[in-house]
Amino acid sequence: MRKPIIAGNWKMYKTLKEAEELVSSLKRQVYDVTDVDIVVCPPYTALSYVADMLEDGNIALGAQDTHWEEEGAWTGEVSAGMLKDAGCLYVIIGHSERRQFFSETDEGVNKKIKAALKNSLIPIVCVGENLNQREKSLTFDIIKEQLTGAFKNINSEEIEKIILAYEPVWAIGTGKVATPQQAQEVHKYIRDWLAKNYGEQASRQIRIQYGGSVKPDNIAGLMLEEDIDGALVGGASLKADSFGAIVINSRKKG
Ligand code: PGA
């Protein structure tokens, strides 16, 4: 069985003091959880500070993006090696806000995945359609295009290290969560795509998170679906109570 993974994407929120409050309270809430992988993704400025707070615990650290080069004259950017050095184990790649507001392309996503893997970071690769695309019944076409672009020249050994996140853009930060059935349908599509391109074993093993308005009261319903293995949480990850409750309610039954 795939172990659930719940990741909190803090986006551009939290000063060091606020990060400290959130993490210390979260640690108290989830200290005994061992059957869910728990990840927090603070902004760059708080990474190494939070890393110190998480040492030897059951919460791992992730970043929200990376550059694809090791180092160089790239003002404002941060490399995967630097993220590793700051204590990260995970990195979110291809979030829809990066794609939408910072012109991130599938080609860029592909280069970033390679950089992350090279530095032993686990990429959380986001895919998802926007409302217009869904209304035109283009969801599967868009997902296929994003998967094909993201995983170009990624081999089967590498793909097994990756986490996927299906995040319908119309559900992010809108309060409009996809129904478990709507999400499952796309998760199944992604898993079938993985099977076709990388074989049954890889497709059975890879975890696929759902993201978009996940809250403590809708996570359990989502987790009941066969191909949903966790969540990438934005807004509800900013409070220890709600994020802790999502972690607890994500435990797979049966
Ligand atoms: P949300 O964000 O939970 O606030 O909808 C999800 C995300 O952007 O990963």
232 Cα nearest atom in ligand 1: 9
pLDDT tens over the chain, length 254 residues: 899 999 999 999 999 999 999 999 999 999 999 999 999 999 999 999 999 999 989 999 999 999 999 999 999 999 999 999 999 999 999 999 999 999 999 999 999 999 999 999 999 999 999 999 999 999 999 999 999 999 999 999 999 999 999 999 999 988 888 899 999 999 999 999 999 999 999 999 999 999 999 999 999 999 999 999 999 999 999 999 999 999 999 996 64
In a domain, 55, yes or no: yes
In a domain, 152, yes or no: yes
Tell me, in angstroms, the distance from the centre of ligand 1 to residue 99's CA.
Answer: 14
For position 253, what pLDDT does the model report? 60
Nearest CA to ligand 1 atom 9: 234
In a domain, 254, yes or no: no
Q: How many structural domains are present in the chain?
A: 1
Tell me, in angstroms, the distance from the centre of ligand 1 to residue 72's CA.
Answer: 31
DSSP string, the chain: -PPPEEEEE--S---HHHHHHHHHHHHHHHTT--SSEEEEE--GGGHHHHHHHHTTSSEEEEES--BSSSSSS-TT--BHHHHHHTT-SEEEES-HHHHHHS---HHHHHHHHHHHHHTT-EEEEEE---HHHHHTT-HHHHHHHHHHHHTTT--HHHHTT-EEEE--GGGTTSS-PPPHHHHHHHHHHHHHHHHHHH-HHHHHH--EEEESS--TTTHHHHHTSTT--EEEESGGGSSHHHHHHHHHHTPPP-
For position 1, what pLDDT does the model report? 85
| This prediction's pTM | 0.97
For position 180, what pLDDT does the model report? 96
In a domain, 221, yes or no: yes
Q: Which domain holds residue 71?
A: 5-249
Residue 193 is part of a domain; what is its CATH number?
3.20.20.70
In a domain, 115, yes or no: yes
In a domain, 23, yes or no: yes
Nearest CA to ligand 1 atom 7: 234
In a domain, 66, yes or no: yes
Residues with CB under 6 A from ligand 1: 9, 167, 172-173, 211-214, 232-236
In a domain, 159, yes or no: yes
For position 176, what pLDDT does the model report? 85
